[in-house]
């Protein structure tokens, strides 16, 4: 169910709620011009929080163009968690694809479940109100679901004949695709497999779609990987968490 006011919407996150055993919601921005009164925007968000105070856990994703809104919310009940950086593919890099990359509709999830331990920069791991075990289980189930059909395509990179890394691909529309879960298994990191994986994806889809990928501002390795493989920073957004029950 979505609840909306003039600029923002609230929706219950069913899957997150089930995974975390909490009533989880999301507040997001629909459309707002950059010259809009940011204090009014902040008031709109506060109203949505108040209207949904029975929620256990609310995530707010706020575009980086609204620092006044950010400041107002941080002075209220919101907690800053991370800054998400959204990259867009710009050009084929000079890096060659040194390892085989294949594409699948589904893939054996058990191969890549260990990647759940690599998601330490995600907002679920970054919030100490969420037990680490629950954050890990959430990512484990997400990897499983994506491998079993939630993703439109799975890109897999190989070391010789062994699958050692993956990226999930979602077709947003006829023009845009988004990469979501990206990772190389820990024993095989540092050998250029991530570059081969990303380069394989951009060679397969870069001339047909705009390719977007996001990471966290503290995940320097991911940023270097995307920049090295032809991605430029497109936008950013702040991620805030609110725990209404604990703010009482």
Domain of 161, CATH number, reads 3.40.630.30
pLDDT of residue 175: 96
pLDDT of residue 78: 95
Tokens of 37: 């009164």
Single out the residue in 22, 43, 76 at which a domain terminates: 76
pLDDT of residue 33: 73
pLDDT of residue 3: 52
Instruction: State the total domains in the chain.
Output: 2
Q: What percent of the chain shows pLDDT beyond 70?
A: 95
Q: How far apart are CA 16 and CA 141, in angstroms?
A: 11
What b/e readout covers 184-193, taking b as 16+ CB neighbours within 10 angstroms? bbeebeeebb
Residue 240 lies in a domain: no
Residues of the chain with pLDDT below 50 are: none
143-154 tens-digit pLDDT: 999 999 999 999
**Range list of H helices, the chain:** 14-20, 38-51, 67-74, 123-126, 132-145, 193-205, 220-228
Single out the residue in 76, 106, 129 at which a domain terminates: 76
Q: Does 119 share its domain with 168? A: yes
Q: Does 10 share its domain with 133? A: no
Q: How many CB atoms lie within 10 A of CB 4?
A: 11
Q: Does 229 share its domain with 161? A: yes
Residue whose C-alpha is closest to residue 9's, from 69, 59, 65: 59
pLDDT of residue 143: 98
Single out the residue in 76, 110, 125 at which a domain terminates: 76
Q: Does 72 share its domain with 93? A: no
Residue 172 lies in a domain: yes
Which residue range(s) make up the domain with 188? 89-235
């Amino acid at each position: 169910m979505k609840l909306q006011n003039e600029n923002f919407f609230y929706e219950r996150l069913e899957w997150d709620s089930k995974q975390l055993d909490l009533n989880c919601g999301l507040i997001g921005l629909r459309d707002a011009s950059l010259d809009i009164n940011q204090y009014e925007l902040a008031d709109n968000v506060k109203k949505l929080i108040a209207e949904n105070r029975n929620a256990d856990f609310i995530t707010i994703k706020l575009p980086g163009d609204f620092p006044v809104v950010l400041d107002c919310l941080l002075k209220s009940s919101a907690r800053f968690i991370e800054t998400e950086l959204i990259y867009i593919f710009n050009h084929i890099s000079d890096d060659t694809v040194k390892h085989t990359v294949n594409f699948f509709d589904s893939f054996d999830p058990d191969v890549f479940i260990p990647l759940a331990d690599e998601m330490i920069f995600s907002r679920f791991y970054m919030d100490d109100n969420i037990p680490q075990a629950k954050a890990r289980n959430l990512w484990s189930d997400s990897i499983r679901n994506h491998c079993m059909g939630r993703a439109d395509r799975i890109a897999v990179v190989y070391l010789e004949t062994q699958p050692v890394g993956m990226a999930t691909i979602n077709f947003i529309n006829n023009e845009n695709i988004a990469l979501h879960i990206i990772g190389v298994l820990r024993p095989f990191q540092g050998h250029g497999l991530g570059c081969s994986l990303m380069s394989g994806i951009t060679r397969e889809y870069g001339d047909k779609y705009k390719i977007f990928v996001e990471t966290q501002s503290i995940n320097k390795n991911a940023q270097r990987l995307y920049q090295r493989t032809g991605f430029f920073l497109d936008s950013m957004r702040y991620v805030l968490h609110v725990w209404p029950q604990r703010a009482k």
